Amino acid sequence: MTQSSLPRILPFAGSPLDRCENLRRDEQAMKALEQSDRALFLPLWRGQIFMMADGTPALVQGAALKTLSIADPGPVLLGTEGKNAQPWFAFCLTQDDAGADNFPLTGLGEWTELRSAAPLLKAADLAIVGRAAALLGWHKRHRFCANCGVVTIAAEGGIKRECEDCGTEHFPRTDPVVIMLAVRGDQCLMGRQAGWPENTYSALAGFVEQGESLEEACAREVGEEAGVTIGAVRYCLSQPWPFPSSLMIGLIAQALSEDITLDDELEDARWFSRDDVRAMLNDTHEYYKAPTAFSAANHLLQEWVNEGA
């Protein structure tokens, strides 16, 4: 909890859209939303968004869609915004269409990787494009029925896929990832992987495995990666992470040991004081750097530093 006692809303969360769960089975209502003059359509191409020169994600209107090659499953409904229920859709261009002369916004901006665009976007836009990228990425990777192998079709505005052959419904999946700060007194444990930006350290993290609680996943990952023993674990925050479709679950864990034994995953791990972390977050540390401001790890560090203030 922050000092205001309100939950921290992390980047990629806090979408202003109503997800329209109660409209999605109403085919006429869905058609009316898609055909509305007020509908906005967010294009994606190879997981990238089209950033306009003013730093906003490009949106096109329905009429422009007729000139474009749109990948399966066509436009998906993200939701509606505001009192006048402005519809928001997202779609993927086919792999070879984005550079084509018929893309209506060519010359007004450029295709940008979501990770590069994330620090530049407003919070509401980031939440919308993050969800769009996660949802359309899921459609791209899950065209075939996992039960019987035939091609499935999208339903209810793209919130699921259905197999007409065996009747199985498939829903977008979210993979839980624990990201944890192991703490011992006034110190916290962070590591770095080879290939990260120089001198950047971050909280340890890993996927939750089947048959495992969050606390168990936390203890296993810290044990595997750094050889540190974990005691009590408490929940701190969470963040949808669309690379490709995780939920980051931020934990603060009491470390019961200090000696570090690295596995192959980390290039280094070490203990940092609150003063170190505060300076890293302020980008004033003479040597070490904090993880990017839009990551769960950065916010976890902020929470821990604030607790000691």
The strand pair at 187-192 and 175-184 is best described as: antiparallel
Number of residues in contact with Zn ion, rule: CB under 5 A? 7
Q: Specify the 3-state DSSP secondary structure of 246.
A: strand
Q: Is 61 in the site for Zn ion (CB under 5 A)?
A: no
Residue whose entry in the numeric block shows the structure tokens 């839009």: 294
Answer whether the bond into residue 291 is a cis peptide, omega within 30°: no
Maximum C-alpha span of the chain: 63
Of 152 and 302, nearer to Zn ion (C-beta) is 152
Q: Which position among 1, 166, 256, 293 is part of the footprint of Zn ion (CB under 5 A)? A: 166
Q: Is 148 in the site for Zn ion (CB under 5 A)?
A: yes
Q: Is 78 in the site for Zn ion (CB under 5 A)?
A: no
Q: Are 268 and 260 in contact (CB under 8 A)?
A: no
* Shortest Å, Cβ 134 to Zn ion: 23
Q: Is 256 in the site for Zn ion (CB under 5 A)?
A: no
Instruction: Say how far apart CA 35 and CA 44 lie, in whole Å.
Output: 20
x/- mask, Zn ion, residues 92-121, rule CB under 5 A, reads ------------------------------
The stretch among 7-15, 112-120, 147-155, 198-206 that binds Zn ion (CB under 5 A) is 147-155
Instruction: Say how far apart CA 78 and CA 191 lie, in whole Å.
Output: 36
Q: Is 146 in the site for Zn ion (CB under 5 A)?
A: no
| 92 Rama class: left (phi>0) / alpha (psi -120 to 50) / beta | beta
Q: Which position among 13, 17, 163, 208 is part of the footprint of Zn ion (CB under 5 A)? A: 163
Of 168 and 292, nearer to Zn ion (C-beta) is 168
Of 166 and 293, nearer to Zn ion (C-beta) is 166
The stretch among 14-22, 86-94, 143-151, 223-231 that binds Zn ion (CB under 5 A) is 143-151
* Shortest Å, Cβ 150 to Zn ion: 6
Sequence-distant (≥ 6) Cβ neighbours of residue 41 within 8 angstroms: 59, 60, 61, 62, 64, 65, 75, 89, 90, 91
Can you give the binding site for Zn ion, defined by CB under 5 A? 145, 147-148, 163, 165-166, 168
